[in-house]
């Protein structure tokens, strides 16, 4: 399943123009702050509307300004792992995981617990989790939403080396075991080399 993205959007005092046309697997978007990496993820997710252009995944159009297509975010089936994870602080891990469940055709809770090794965390609150544990819970919640594709915004940021390796190993298993296209934002070239099937480098802001 491939990505076909060609969008333009004015943000602040500049216009970003981004083009991604690539094949399946984990695609890394690498570039400095301000290059438009997170904005691109938000446009694909439907959280930010491009001024012009198109977005299609696996041949399915999600946005096309010329054709008048703009699929609502809730119907795009994007599994989004945010940089700050956005777990609900008042809900225990199990409730956080189940919050995103859509229908019964995707992975089950037991599938995700086994895959990510987080079964022992179910009764914990997010504030008691390590950074690596919280990242794996965020990945699990995204998987339980029955996504058509995944968006990952710097999922290894703010982790110590041991936790980074733990989460990176989980992402490698995810890449290899599931037929889900992944757009992965990072500014770390070493992450891209290890994880990506293809790397796209975005230019710094002018």
Q: What CATH superfamily is the domain 3-201?
A: P-loop containing nucleotide triphosphate hydrolases (3.40.50.300)
Q: What is the pLDDT of residue 112?
A: 92
pLDDT in tens, the chain (206 residues): 688 999 999 877 777 788 887 767 899 999 888 888 899 999 999 999 999 999 999 889 999 999 999 999 999 999 999 988 889 999 999 999 998 787 666 789 999 999 999 999 999 999 999 999 999 999 999 999 989 999 999 999 888 888 889 889 999 988 888 878 899 999 889 999 999 999 998 877 66
CA distance linking residue 85 with residue 102, whole number of Å: 19
pLDDT at 124: 97
How much is the pLDDT for 204? 72
Cross-strand bridge partners of residue 57 = 3, 60
Q: Where are the domains positioned within the chain?
A: 3-201
- Torsion, Cα of 58, 60, 65, 68 (10° steps): 180
Provide the token pair at 13: 């005092």
pLDDT at 205: 66
CB 192, CB 36: distance < 8 Å:
no
Name the region of 103 (left: φ>0; alpha: ψ -120 to 50; beta: rest): left
- pLDDT of amino acid 52: 95
Q: What is the pLDDT of residue 19?
A: 82
Task: Please provide residue 157's backbone torsions phi and psi, each rounded to the nearest 5 degrees.
Answer: -65, 150
Coarse DSSP helix, strand, coil percentages of the chain, rounded to the nearest 5 percent: 35, 25, 40
């Amino acid at each position: 399943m491939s990505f076909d993205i060609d969008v333009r959007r004015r943000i602040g005092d500049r216009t970003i123009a981004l083009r991604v046309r690539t094949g399946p697997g984990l695609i890394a978007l690498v570039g400095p702050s301000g290059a438009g990496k997170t904005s691109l993820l938000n446009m694909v997710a439907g959280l930010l509307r491009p001024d012009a252009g198109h977005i299609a995944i696996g041949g399915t159009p999600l946005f096309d300004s010329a054709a008048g297509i703009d699929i609502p975010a809730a119907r795009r089936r994007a599994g989004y792992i945010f940089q700050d994870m956005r777990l609900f602080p008042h809900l225990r891990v199990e409730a956080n995981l189940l919050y995103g469940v859509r229908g019964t055709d995707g992975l089950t809770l037991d599938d995700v617990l086994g895959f990510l090794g987080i079964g022992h965390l179910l009764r914990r609150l997010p504030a008691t989790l390590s950074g690596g544990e919280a990242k794996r819970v965020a990945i699990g919640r995204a998987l339980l939403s029955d996504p058509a594709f995944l968006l990952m915004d710097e999922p290894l940021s703010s982790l110590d080396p041991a936790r980074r390796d733990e989460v990176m190993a989980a992402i490698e298993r995810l890449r290899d075991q599931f037929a889900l296209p992944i757009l992965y934002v990072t500014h770390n070239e070493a992450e891209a080399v290890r994880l990506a099937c293809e790397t796209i480098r975005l230019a710094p802001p002018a």
